[in-house]
């Protein structure tokens, strides 16, 4: 059996949906789900999206032909997969919860809701359809194989508005830190500004990390940080830098640390994530917070230095919505990424 996505323009009159089901069933296929994805037309018809299970020996195009012979226009036929069988309302609520925990995750949540991908607006247009969703000062560039409908985009805009309102609330409360972030696996962490008293937490985090993780962050595998280095990492801004700590929800352990700048490299960024917490989206959340801080401080770019075999940092910057460039100089990888100008919150 194969799963296909079919869009049909269905008249709003009694029995029409039953006729559609009869035609699809007569072709040996089964409608797994149906929901409205388009606004009503002037004639009262709406665009419905069907997920149809089609036997391997049945041509999906022949099913569409049968539906159209019944006087029901089909506007789309593309392959789907089993992951799309989840209940759309449950999915939307889960995505709203993710955005509530981390407003910066809204672009990824919107892409998931629309079964689309986040697109690079400067890249040459490829196959498929693209759309730029604008809500206030926020922009999300999306792409997928079939057109976006007004109904879908209005739902996505509601999610973006939620993120914007939560971001404004955090800004006005004076507590942009201390936010909870929902990670990919459903676990949560708390992000807040690091303080000098957090030295023991950071020392324990460093000790738990593998030599490879220490080398990627510090260009050294040393198992212990010197008191001066530790003090710099949890500097509260006196030296011009900022540090963001990722804590377990109970605050008992530090599982990640991100640093922005200092006297010599005011726009430099660096991230350390405990090995057991990698692959959950924590590094991206930390980078995203550093980007916010860099924009607030008026930086036009962020920079980083890493071992030449460490491509993870550039991936994190891309996932945070930036477009990093890199070059190897004197045996080290130097990374730069331009920042958009921060939009003041009224």
- What domains does the chain contain, in order, with CATH numbers? 2-85 (3.30.70.260), 88-173 (no CATH), 179-338 (3.40.630.30)
What would the mean pLDDT of 326-341 be, rounded to a whole number?
A: 87
Q: Average pLDDT for residues 75-80, to the nearest whole number?
A: 87
Residue pair 66/25 in contact (Cβ under 8 Å)? The answer is no
Instruction: Please report the pLDDT score of residue 264 as a whole number.
Output: 67
Cβ-based neighbours of 122, under 8 Å, separated by 6 or more = 323
What pLDDT digit, counting tens, does each position of 94-108 carry? 888 888 877 778 888
DSSP secondary structure letter of residue 343: P
pLDDT digits (tens, 9 = 90+) for 35-55: 888 777 777 788 888 999 999
Residues of the chain above pLDDT 90, percent:
29
pLDDT at 345 over 50: no
Region 285-299: mean pLDDT is 89
pLDDT of residue 236: 64
Query: What would the pLDDT profile of 249-280 be if each residue is shown by its tens digit?
Result: 877 889 999 999 865 678 889 999 999 999 88
Mean pLDDT of 337-342: 74
Q: Which residues contact 74 (CB under 8 A, 6 or more apart)?
A: 6, 7, 8, 9, 64, 67, 68
Residue 71 makes CB contacts below 8 A (sequence gap 6+) with none
* CB 139, CB 133: distance < 8 Å: yes
Helices 88-101 and 106-113: angle between axes, nearest 10 degrees:
170
- The yes-or-no verdict on residue 12 having pLDDT over 70 is yes
Which residues in the chain belong to E strands, given as ranges? 2-10, 30-36, 46-54, 74-79, 117-118, 129-135, 138-144, 179-182, 188-193, 242-248, 254-260, 269-273, 301-307, 325-329, 332-338
How much of the chain, in percent, has pLDDT values that exceed 70? 90
pLDDT tens per residue, range 222-243: 888 888 888 888 876 655 568 9
Nearest Cα residue to 198 out of 259, 147, 157, 138 = 259
pLDDT at site 33: 87
Whether this prediction's pTM lies above 0.75 is answered by no
* Across 324-341, average pLDDT: 87
Rounded CA-CA distance 37/151 in Å is 6
- pLDDT at position 174 is 46
Cα dist from 254 to 8, 184, 192, 274, 288, whole Å: 52, 18, 11, 8, 18
Which of 3-12, 21-30, 240-249 shows the lowest mean pLDDT across its residues?
A: 240-249
Between 14-23, 28-37, 162-171, the lowest mean confidence (pLDDT) is in 162-171
Distance CA 73, CA 79 (A): 18
In whole angstroms, give the CA distance from residue 295 to residue 281: 21
The confidence score (pLDDT) of residue 52 equals 93
Cβ proximity of 258 and 202 under 8 Å:
no
Which pLDDT score is estimated for 125? 67
pLDDT in tens, 118-161: 887 777 766 788 888 887 667 888 998 888 887 888 888 888 88
pLDDT value for 37: 81
Tell me the average pLDDT of the chain: 84
């Amino acid at each position: 059996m194969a799963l296909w996505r079919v869009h049909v323009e269905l008249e709003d009159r009694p029995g029409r949906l039953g006729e559609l089901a009869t035609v699809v069933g007569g072709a040996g296929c089964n409608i797994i789900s149906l929901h409205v994805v388009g606004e009503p037309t002037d004639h009262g018809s709406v665009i419905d999206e069907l997920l149809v299970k089609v036997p391997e020996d049945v041509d999906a195009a022949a099913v569409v032909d049968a539906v159209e012979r019944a006087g029901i226009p089909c506007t789309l036929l593309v392959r789907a997969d089993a992951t799309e069988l989840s209940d759309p309302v449950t999915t939307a609520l889960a995505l709203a919860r993710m955005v509530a925990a981390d407003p910066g995750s809204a672009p990824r949540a919107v892409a998931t809701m629309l079964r689309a991908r986040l697109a690079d607006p400067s890249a040459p247009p490829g196959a498929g359809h693209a759309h730029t969703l604008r809500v206030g000062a926020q922009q999300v560039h999306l792409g997928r194989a079939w057109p976006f409908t007004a109904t879908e985009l209005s739902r996505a805009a509601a999610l973006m508005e939620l993120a914007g309102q939560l971001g404004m609330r955090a800004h006005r409360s004076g507590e942009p830190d201390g936010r909870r972030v929902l990670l990919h696996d459903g676990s949560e962490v708390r992000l807040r500004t690091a303080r000098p008293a957090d030295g023991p937490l950071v020392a324990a985090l460093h000790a738990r990390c593998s030599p490879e993780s220490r080398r990627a962050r510090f260009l050294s595998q040393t198992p212990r940080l010197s008191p001066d280095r530790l003090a710099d990492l949890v500097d509260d801004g006196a030296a011009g830098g900022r540090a963001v700590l990722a804590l377990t929800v109970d605050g008992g352990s530090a599982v990640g640390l991100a640093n922005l700048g200092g006297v010599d490299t005011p726009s430099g960024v660096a991230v350390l994530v405990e090995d057991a917490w990698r692959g959950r989206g924590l590094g991206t959340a930390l980078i995203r917070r550093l980007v916010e801080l860099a924009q607030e401080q008026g930086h036009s770019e962020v920079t980083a230095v890493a071992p030449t075999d460490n491509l993870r940092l550039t991936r994190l910057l891309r996932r945070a919505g930036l477009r990093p460039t890199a070059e190897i100089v004197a045996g080290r990888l130097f990374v730069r990424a331009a920042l958009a100008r921060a939009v003041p919150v009224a």
